[in-house]
Structure 1
Amino acid sequence: MEQYVSFKRCSWVPAKCNILMWRAGLDRIPTRQALCRRNIRINSDECGLCGEGVDLVDHIFTACEYSLCGWARLPPLYAFTFKDIMDFHKSIPGNKKVKETVRGLMFVACWCIWKARNANIFSNWNGNSGEIFEEVRSLGFLWLKSRSKHRNLDWRKWCNFTLYTL
């Protein structure tokens, strides 16, 4: 994986999300492939969510069937590498607030995908992508409303069109 060295934190997501994104950009999260590279014995290097590809950063966040986020009604996300996810907000039309919200939503989506992957591996979670993105929707709303200047967010409007207020 090409290392993504330029990282800017998102102010409205918790530190744990920023740290995950920073470490994922450096390929420093414990994927099965990374564990194999460190000579840690594991049963398989298959994706912890879909079981189809190799469990590595680029697959988990861009190629896995659980990686797509359509509910926000954003332009299609053509991501082949983790760097594409980190830079997606730059292609969104709009002002700085819109771009920051989209970047934060990418952080939240990656956090929720990573949590679901770990739940699947360690707790035999049998959820689906709909459950993951319901959590993205909920956490995105909660964190944006309580951790930013967007105190006037309305849940119903958020569910229909995430970027309605911006």
Structure 2
Amino acid sequence: MWNWRSCPIVASCSSELERLVNDMDSIRLQHGVDRLSCLLSADGKYRVDLLRKKIDQCFTANVHHFQISWCKLIPIKITTFIWRAVMGKIPSAVALSYRGVTLDTCNCSSCIGGIEYVNHILVECPYAKSVTKSILNWCGIDQIDFHNVEEITCFAANWGRCPKKRERLTAICYGMLWSIWRARNDRIFQAKFITPNGVVDNIKALVYFWVKCRGECGFCNWEEWLSCPFSS
């Protein structure tokens, strides 16, 4: 006997009861061991990428797609940070104020004159522009006036014709954005100011470590890397 919370015979519940009875009548129990099967794959095994494609197919009309490269050279923590930065979800002063956090000021801790939102910290601030200019010059790339994080990720994802060099440039750009963010946190929380040139040196060392430890064997030495990151 079912313990109904309300009488299913009333008009408002009768249609739902009918659907429930029909669904139960369609159930056929079979002998054997129960198993789960994913209808998205041919072999019945669940895969995240197939679910992601299915979701994209359902929302292609109104969803804005941005390019994030999930490559093995870049630690997952850094890629996740870039993904959140593109969506404006990292804890900038403006984002924190929207969440109800009381701050002394929302001005940028570097240039003071700008409001500290995500794209200002990582791209538009003169401090970030100086770092970006030096990194592009080191990579032998003509100067580009980026306006937001998404423009940088899209540029790296579509740059050049060599997949190996494109992957390395992606690692450099992601390392650059991460290092600019770290420098901002050092200024605020540790009262430690790192010059743009110091951040550039940190980027070169950080990405060299990624490529050497997480990438291909026979990678170039430190001197060659400092000369040109695409020399090997």
Q: What is the TM-score when the length of structure 2 is the normalising length?
A: 0.65
Deviation at 1:92, TM superposition (A): 2.7
Task: Give the secondary-structure state (helix, strand or coil) at the position aligned to 1:43.
Answer: coil
Question: Structure 1: how far apart are the matches of 2:172 and 2:195?
Answer: 19
Identity among equivalent pairs (%): 23
C-alpha distance 58-144 of structure 1, shift in aligned 2 (>3 A): same
Show CA shifts across 1:4-23 (max 9, x none): 65433132011221111011
Task: Give the secondary-structure state (helix, strand or coil) at the position aligned to 2:144.
Answer: coil
Residue 59 (1) aligns with residue 126 (2)? no
Deviation at 1:89, TM superposition (A): 1.6
Question: Structure 1: how far apart are the matches of 2:114 and 2:176?
Answer: 20
Number of the residue aligned with 2:88: 27
Structure 1, 69-78 or 11-20: larger mean CA deviation: 69-78
Show CA shifts across 1:143-162 (max 9, x none): 11110115422111110111
Number of the residue aligned with 1:36: 97
Residue 16 (1) aligns with residue 77 (2)? yes
Matches within 5 A, 1:39-118: 39-67=100-128, 68=132, 69=135, 70-118=137-185
Residue 128 (1) aligns with residue 189 (2)? no
What count of residue pairs does the alignment treat as equivalent? 163
Instruction: Check whether the contact 1:17–1:107 (CA below 8 A) recurs between aligned residues.
Output: yes
Structure 1, 3-12 or 84-93: larger mean CA deviation: 3-12
The one-letter amino acid of 2:117's match is L
Task: Give the secondary-structure state (helix, strand or coil) at the position aligned to 2:74.
Answer: coil
Question: Structure 2: how far apart are the matches of 1:14 and 1:49?
Answer: 27
Structure number with larger C-alpha Rg: 2
Task: Give the secondary-structure state (helix, strand or coil) at the position aligned to 1:66.
Answer: helix
Question: Structure 2: how far apart are the matches of 1:94 and 1:154?
Answer: 24
Which structure is richer in relative contact order (CA contacts within 8 A, separation 6 or more)? 1
Deviation at 1:74, TM superposition (A): 2.3
Residue 152 (1) aligns with residue 219 (2)? yes
Question: Structure 2: how far apart are the matches of 1:4 and 1:40?
Answer: 30
Structure 1: segments with no counterpart, 5+ residues: none
The one-letter amino acid of 1:155's match is W
Structure 2: segments with no counterpart, 5+ residues: 1-63
Number of the residue aligned with 2:210: 143
RMSD of aligned residue pairs (Cα, Å): 1.7
C-alpha distance 139-161 of structure 1, shift in aligned 2 (>3 A): same
